[in-house]
Amino acid sequence: MSKLNVKAKVMYMPGPWGVNEPVKGATVKIIDMDIGGTNDVILTSTTNAVGKFRGTTKDWQDPKRIRIWEPLPLPGRWVTKKIPDPTDMMLLEIDIKEGSHHVRAPFVYLGPQVEVPIIVPWGKQSLGEVVSSLIPSITVNKRNLPTPWLHKKKRASISKLTRQK
């Protein structure tokens, strides 16, 4: 009836880690929002190594029961038929979880052949970790010194000790 073939790519917001960086292993849910009714999870998936997921949803359009007159066979009779509810509009949300991060946002379905880009509002890692990974570490006497100026202080204090003797 009302099934969708969904394709999407989940990416981190741009930052020091780069642009178009995929979110790997995130749990993704597509939710059909029913105004005045219960919301339905119509697709659950996990992003792959390149941040993509795909799948066919359950029916997003809720069924409605109507009574119609079937004139044949004679003398005719009233029957109940199940049809897609014409008043149910496609209002979708996406729910993404990656570790302790979570976001829920509107989801726009653009068609079966269109890969929808989704950008999460967090980065690949904390900015502190990114900055500290960019600073070179220096080893003196098998001890890591994270910055060059600490190396100078260490060398200066060693030279003071050797001069005093």
Q: Which helix (H) or strand (E) holds 160?
A: helix 148-164
Same domain? For 157 and 92 the reply is no
Both 44 and 9 in one domain: the answer is: yes
Element (H, E) at 162: helix 148-164
Q: Which domain holds residue 152?
A: 135-164
Does residue 72 sit within a domain? no
129-133 contacts at long range (C-beta below 8 A, 24 or more positions apart) = 130/15, 130/16, 130/17, 131/16
The stretch 95-117 carries a mean pLDDT of 95
CA angle 137–138–144, rounded 5-degree value: 80
Same domain, 92 and 112: yes
Q: Is 59 in a helix, a strand, or coil? A: coil
In a domain, 128, yes or no: no
pLDDT digits (tens, 9 = 90+) for 5-55: 999 999 999 988 888 899 999 999 999 998 877 889 999 999 999 999 999
CA distances from 152 to 13, 27, 145 (A): 38, 48, 10
Model's pTM, two decimal places?
A: 0.68
